[in-house]
Amino acid sequence: MFQLTEKHITQFQEDGYLMVEGLYDQEEMDLLLQIGKADQEKEELVHSANDAAGRESKLWLTSDIDQEDIYNGFVHGRRIVDTMERVMGDEVYLYHYKMMVKEPKIGGAWEWHQDYGYWYHNQALYPDMASCYIAVDRAYRGNGCLQVLRGSHKLGRVEHGRFGTQTGADPKRVELAKQHLEHVYCEMPPGTALFF
């Protein structure tokens, strides 16, 4: 069982993210994947957005945060909530959750962005929100794992615009940030969680 330490909290505050390997076991991920693939209601709500190169990326996003289903069981679970409250230093609430429906080797990419770049335009006044990404299957460079710029949360909000049919951070600012910050490929085995 994962035990959050002060060192983890400091790492989150300095780097802008914390990767927790083994937060969930393989059996839990297999069950979530099996249910997710068979969920017709979810599949009907999947939408796509093209990246700047015109390639299609797909996701399912919902604000139905009070349903009694496996998805809510995960996102309201103590492993996520307790960890998030400790790294954020305050009580947290669920804003929404989503499942990336990425097809290996053929789907598009998500443009570089800050989640707060979206939330800001949804009337979120303060940038004190965070995300948790759970690798349901193995995430690695070859299948388009999530990427972060270590410490980029300290840049403040970067202006966002439309690239393809997605919202993304100003590419010039991203390139400038890449010159100064470590580019990290978040390669994660199933059950790993990334708090960011």
Q: Which amino acid is at 133?
A: Y
CA-to-CA distance for 88 and 80, rounded, in angstroms?
Answer: 12
Top CATH class, 6-195: mainly beta
Interacting residues of 94 by C-beta distance below 8 A, sequence separation 6+ = 65, 75, 76
Euclidean distance between CA atoms 106 and 53, whole angstroms:
13
- Taking the CA atoms of residue 53, residue 183, residue 4 and residue 126 in that order, the dihedral angle to the nearest 10 degrees is -60
pLDDT (average), residues 21-39: 95
Q: pLDDT tens-digit profile of 43-94?
A: 888 888 888 888 888 878 887 778 888 999 999 999 999 999 999 999 998 8
Q: Over 90: is that where the pLDDT of 172 sits?
A: yes
Contact 159, 121 (CB under 8 A): no
Residue 170 has pLDDT above 80, yes or no: yes
Tokens of 173: 């600012």
**pLDDT score recorded for residue 104:** 63
